[in-house]
Structures are given as C-alpha cells and as structure tokens.
Amino acid sequence: MTVGADAETAHREAVDAVREGLAALPPDAPVRLRKKTSNLFRFRGGAGGLTVDGLDRVLSVDPVERTADVAGMTTYEDLVAATLPHGLMPLVVPQLKTITLGGAVVGLGIESSSFRDGLPHESVLEADVLTGTGDILSTSDHPDLLSGLPNSYGTLGYALRLKIELAPVRPFVRLRHVRFDTAEEITQALAEVAKTREWAGERVDFCDGVVFSAREHYMTVGEMVDTAPYLSDYTGQQIYYRSIQDRDTDFVTIHDYLWRWDTDWFWCSRALGVQHPVVRRLWPARYRRSDVYRRIVALDRRTGLSQALARRSGVAGVEPIIQDVEVPVDRLPEFLAFFHDEIGISPVWLCPLRQRDRRSWPLYPLDPDTTYVNVGFWSDAPLAPGQAEDHHNRRIEQVLMGLDGHKSLYSTSSYTPDEFDALYGGTTYRELKARYDPDGRLPDLYTKTVTG
C-alpha cells in the first residue's frame, strides 16, 4: 500500500488548514484541538480552536519495511484496520479504539505487549510536528523534540504525521488465565514473564492481569497462533473480563484480542447497566464501545447527577478515581496492599512494562533496567464529611512517590509544582518549551494537566 496522490494532497491541505488556524488565533487565545473523540478525563471548560479534519487517515503501510505513515489524529481502530490485512500491527495498541496515534505518543499509551515493546512513542521513527511558533518541524532534524513529545500532551506541539514501526501477527491468540492467591505470587510471575518472555516453557506475546480482590489475582498470557480449535466472541452477550475467572484457556482472533477491553470499557460498562443481561440484549451492539460510555460519563459530570444521588444516600459526595499508575514491579505488593485498604476499588488492571531501549524520554523517565507494572483503576469512591474533593487521588499520589512510581496525566492530578517538576522532567521541559513555543501559544504542561 503506497501513498496515493489524492491522499497526499488531502493531507497537505489538512496540514495547511491547521497551520493557518493557529496563525489566525489571537495571541492570548487558548489553543485546543477540536477532536471528534477524547480519552482524557480532565473534564474542563474552554472552547476549542484548531480544527483537525483530514488528519485522521492512514497514508501508507509498507509490508516489506514493516512501517506505516499515519496522520496524527488517526484512531487506533482505523490504524489496526489498515495494518492487519498485511499481517501487521502497531507494536503497542492501546486498549480503546478511539485513542489516536498522536494522542498515544504525546499522552502515553500502554498494552499487553508493553513488557516487550515499551510504550507507543518508542516505535516512532520520525514525526512532523506543528510547534507553538507555527513551524512544522521534522523530528529527524530535531531529535530533542521527539524525545520531549511523550507526556507533553500537545504543549510543545501537535504531531501531524508519524512514521511508526509495525510488528508481524498471526491470525489467532491462545490465552491462558493463571490464578494466584497473593499479590506476591502474581508479582513474581509478571517479573518472570517480562524477563524471559515465556511462561511454563511456552512463548508469551502478550501479558496483563486482573485483580478481583486481595485473594484473587489472574495473569493472562497470550501466544499468537496459526490455528484455533474454537473461537470465543466477547463483542456480544459474553463479557471478556468475566471469562478470566471461568476459563483456563481461550482462543480469539487477533482483531478481537486487540479490542477485547473496548466492548465493556474494561469493566466500567457495569456502572452503566450494560452488563445486565436484559439491558445488554436491548443495547445496540454498535453502541457497546468505550467512546459511547465516555460521552455518558461526560454528561453525568456536567449535570452532577451521580454527585446528587450520592449525597441523597448520606455521603458527602463521590470522588472519581480514574488513574493509570506505574510502580517498579517489586513495589507492586505494597501498592496493592495500600489500595485494597484505603481505596477499595475492584477490579484492578495490571500491565507489565519495560522500556524498549536505552533512549532518554525526559518527561516520563523510566529506568530501562527496571520492570514496572501499570495499575489501572477506574471508578468512584465515597467522600467522608470534611474530605477534599481530591482526597483519594492525592493520597494515591503520595503513596506512589514513596514507592518510586508515578502516573499518567490523562486524569485528575494534584501534584505540587515541585513534585511535578521532579517526576516529569521540569528543567528539560522548560528548555524545550523555550525552544519550540517561546511565546507560550500552547498551554503549559502543569497548567494543562493539574491546575486547568
């Protein structure tokens, strides 16, 4: 598949429109992207400014070189649809269909291949970036810009076009769900898989886990295979995360494996009633997907309905706790013990992660010699009278810092400026900001992700 002349022309026109849109904004106007979808959970006001229509297509797939040339606002749903027919996939495919490639690079992403292939930005070969100055720069000429993009959340510039590596796939995935009674046992298993890329003498292509309680932990390892004796379907009435408790072995297509979490937004569709058998039969299949559920949550945040219902039930309110955090693997039992004791949300997602190479990514620094575990949790917790509205999230941050961990910034953050600088490369960030957005046309990272 090569770049067609029409696609290339359309891409150039879309790029010109974005650049002209930035130039037309008043110097003091906030700069935001008008995107059709979002996977951020910082629900804040403010009008959008830059239209990104036309920057949402796969421009080419090279099956020989195993690369793809992709516009920055292309969703992984569309990217995977373009690569799978060639027997290829992005090295890391974040869990939700409407996450964009550019969003996963500047805002991070993770999935069950991350124990082997790191994070999405590590497979970027080059990118064209619209900076705050209005210039479009290639990271081939500005390698410091590429190293500074991850975790910059568009505050240094917007990735308009990216060339990424691809990995070969097989048609099916054989899953093994292995139960452990303690956090220590699953921690040891995750560390072993990350180190050896095997489990029980068999190859592991994918690895993640689910914690249902302090006494019920599952590690799921997946191996890509050419044949399958049967196939399970979790896009209809069956629910994937429940199968983890019921099956030792399972088979799905590679397509369905990549999107196994999207149908029920991991398990968060439960709060919307979508897992009730009657509701599920009546809920159209095309609406059983993460972007639909997020719009419902956004509506609830605007109307305050869940807060009002919580207060009527006798609590001071509820605090949304929607976070993905990383801790070194040997600190995982400590974090889970704290989490069960003080937060009490379940289930919890686990995903082992190792940086793919020894390059420096200063705004989200990881030790390339350390295995980390991403812990994901997405729910509400009741607030007691007198507790601050970010009580639980702030407590999680404090514990994380004591465990040499940190978290993604797509949701609520309460770090102080000094804490934020220490965790997210503050000195380097300011140097990059002065170089690529000297007039401050784009938001500051701390302002965008913490203070709003």
- Please state the domain extents for the chain: 5-169+439-443, 172-260
Rounded CA separation 102/209 (Å): 26
User: Among 171, 94, 40, 41, which Cα is nearest to 349's?
Assistant: 94
User: Looking at the domain that runs over 5-169+439-443, which CATH code has it been given?
Assistant: 3.30.465.10
User: Looking at the domain that runs over 172-260, which CATH code has it been given?
Assistant: 3.30.200
End-to-end CA distance of the chain: 42
What are phi and psi for residue 407, nearest 5 degrees? Answer: -135, 165
Q: What is the pLDDT, as a whole number, of residue 146?
A: 97
pTM here is 0.93
Task: Report which secondary-structure segment, H or E, holds 224.
Answer: strand 216-225
Write out the DSSP string of 242-291. Answer: HHHHH-SEEEEEHHHHHTTTTTTTTTGGGGGTTTSHHHHHHS-GGG-SHH
Q: What is the pLDDT, as a whole number, of residue 1?
A: 42
pLDDT in tens, the chain (452 residues): 444 567 788 898 888 888 888 888 887 777 777 677 766 666 555 555 677 778 999 999 999 999 999 999 999 999 999 999 999 999 999 999 999 999 999 999 999 999 999 999 999 999 999 999 999 999 999 999 999 999 999 999 999 999 999 999 999 999 999 999 999 999 999 999 999 999 999 999 999 999 999 999 999 999 999 999 999 999 999 999 999 999 999 999 999 999 999 999 999 999 899 999 999 999 999 999 999 988 888 787 777 767 776 667 666 688 989 999 999 999 999 999 999 999 999 999 999 999 999 999 999 999 999 999 999 999 988 898 999 999 999 999 999 999 999 999 998 899 999 999 999 999 999 999 999 999 999 999 999 999 97
Place of tokens 């961990």: 405
